[in-house]
Amino acid sequence: MPAIDFRAALNDEQYAAVTAEPGPLLVLAGAGSGKTRTLTYRVAYLLSQGVRPGDILLLTFTNKAAKEMLHRVEELTGVEPRRFWGGTFHSIGHRALRMFGEEIGLPKNFTILDADESETLLKQTVDTEDKAFFKDKTNPRPGPLFSIISLARNTRQSIPDTVEKQFPQYSEIKYAIQPFAAAYAEKKRAQNVCDYDDLLTGWLELLEKAPNIAEYFAHRFRHLLVDEYQDTNTLQSQIIDRIAQHHRVMAVGDDAQCIYSWRGADFENIMTFPERHPGTVIHRIETNYRSTPEILDLANGVLEAQPKGRHFDKELRAARAHSQKPMVVETIDDREQAEFVRKRIRALIEDEGVSPGQIAILYRSHFIAMEMQLVLSRAAIPYHITSGVKFFDRQHIKDIVALVTFVYNPGNEMSWQRIACLLPKVGEKGAQKIHAAAREHAALLRKDFIDALHTDDVLTKVAKDARADWPSFCDSLSEVAETMRTAGPARTIEIAIDGWYGDYLRGAFADYIERLDELKALAGFAARFETIQDFLAQIVLLNGETSDRQVDPDAEAVKLTTVHQAKGLEYDVVFVIGLADGQFPGRRAIEAGDVEEERRLFYVAVTRAKNELYLCYPKVATKAGPGGMLLTASRFLTEINPALYEPLRLRRAFW
């Protein structure tokens, strides 16, 4: 193995962590401080001390992260990655079950179900247990139902508690789900199959119920290294604790970047690590190589506002020269906010030579970026949405637009097919038959098309499985039609959401509440228009504007993304938009009295910026109905010392 000058390659903080004596080690690696470098050099250092590659277990959250680290280790040491046990929790769990699964009754030839297969098997199980369950459209469909069971397993909480905390739309049936979960588990065992979660639950079961296997893992791996420890869920944390009985464990993470509780990450895992591993030595890596001192001063201000005793103390220190302070930008509404960002981006690209790919617009929720997408499209500024599809291309948005379009023009068969095919067992041909029957019946009886849908003659063309839904489906269309005649587009959208489609949405999507918020934002957008015709025409024009300019994925383009998706990334210039109470932090976090994860999310947003940071918020939120809703600056801004940022006054005569 070639000699490595660890002292020359690392700063003082990194060197102390890399060369620390084996034992329980918690490395608190601040944003932009070289976490991956520290882990990589730790592996290389252990090898330099005579540790065999096979004695090291490296656990990561992505296979890409493990491969990159071990490839870098090979460059440093010449030791090939295949000689290590390194990978995701699930990949190592799979390896463990292949070796020892028979100890818990799992034959070696078990197969793994993919996500679609898992949902199909769960659906078959539920149909066997309760044929009526999926016929109620407000009950979760197989996908959301699987999400509930999966989250409960990963957090090791009861299904009723999981529903109450994360899926409140299903509270009324929270006790009905456990029998389905039990029957699903039995069916998997009977078929000798595992789903993705079984790779972790089975691994932990091995460690808990087979002492000889627990002993094997505890002694097989003399050194356990865990990346992004703050993102571990209860299952993963308990696996680590079981394996690390020898206490030679290094957990690397940042409590200030724990932002994934909605998918099971438990903030308490990193906070209580020293208690579960007595004698833990904490190393802090706080020198930041990414951002200017002014941006880091503001980031430290965010951390200082955390409740005392509920976080590890840390202070990011800059390795770069001084520059401008972050800017706080107050705008009248989301339109002026978007115009400010557009104008500044244009100047950055054309006057200051900043690459579009080094500019990011971050937001808490998708609907906040709707206006931003419209403005960038009209200005022909190329952009990528890295956290999903464009607002008007999202499934539920297109569904509601199709529903309203059909009511406005019942002859539009494409819109009809989109909404009719949401009914159980109604396909494209079935939708065409229903439409033809209604058209014929309406002409024969000189009825309105939507009134004709209510008739028995049309009902005979409806698939048997959809007939229970049919009356509420037709009633909802009639209510939308009546509203369209007497009220504006915003109220029409609201009625469409409140009707049959709202019930469909609740059952179809685990993230129902977030999607409902986006539909309400659509109603707010509709409030700009006096007629439904103008609203629908504008939607088509906007879709044309955005879809006509398909951006090459490899081309330089401004990035639009949620803060969650931006974690781990960095940009020269960052705009955080929608920084108002109720938008960031979100309304539900405020109502629940728990905004700490939202605060950590704000910290993540701030620390993505390298050179310039703009924190923007509107004073008025666009909403359905007369006027708008007054907003106040996010508490995350108002609690920071004003000396840490510069207020930017807009000269509105220029807009």
Residue set of the binding site for ATP: 29-36
Instruction: Copy the structure tokens of residue 513.
Output: 């509440």
One-letter amino acid at 554 equals D
- C-alpha to C-alpha distance for 110 and 194, rounded to whole angstroms: 7
What sign does the CA torsion over 378, 384, 387, 388 have? positive
With contact defined as beta carbons under 8 Å apart, do 608 and 571 qualify?
yes
Q: Given the DSSP bridges, would you call strands 249-253 and 223-226 parallel, antiparallel or unpaired? A: parallel
With contact defined as beta carbons under 8 Å apart, do 640 and 298 qualify?
yes
* Strands laid side by side in the 281-285 sheet: 85-88, 56-60, 223-226, 249-253, 25-29, 281-285
Instruction: Copy the structure tokens of residue 600.
Output: 């950590």
Q: Tokens 């915003």 appear where?
A: 490
Q: Where are the beta strands (DSSP E) in 522-581?
A: 558-562, 571-576
Phi, psi at 629, each rounded to 5°: -100, 125
Burial of 554 (0-12, 13-18, 19+ CB in 10 A): exposed
Q: Which residues contact 572 (CB under 8 A, 6 or more apart)?
A: 354, 355, 358, 359, 609, 610, 611, 612
With contact defined as beta carbons under 8 Å apart, do 492 and 532 qualify?
yes
Q: Given the DSSP bridges, would you call strands 223-226 and 56-60 parallel, antiparallel or unpaired? A: parallel
Which DSSP category does 640 fall into? S
Q: Which residues contact 211 (CB under 8 A, 6 or more apart)?
A: none
Binding residue numbers: 29-36
DSSP string computed for 26-89: EEEE-TTS-HHHHHHHHHHHHHHTT--GGGEEEEESSHHHHHHHHHHHHHHH---GGGSEEEEH
- C-alpha to C-alpha distance for 470 and 473, rounded to whole angstroms: 5
In angstroms, the Cα distances linking 100 to 15, 56, 89, 207, 329 are 38, 19, 16, 10, 58
| Residues constituting the chain | 655
Helix (H) or strand (E) holding 205: helix 198-209
Largest CA distance in the chain: 91
- C-alpha to C-alpha distance for 346 and 342, rounded to whole angstroms: 6
Number of H helices, E strands in the chain: 31, 18
**CA contacts within 13 A on the Cβ side of 357:** 6
| Other beta carbons less than 10 A from residue 410's beta carbon | 21
Of 647, 624, 631, 642, give the one whose Cα is nearest residue 579: 631
| Other beta carbons less than 10 A from residue 602's beta carbon | 28
- C-alpha to C-alpha distance for 453 and 521, rounded to whole angstroms: 30
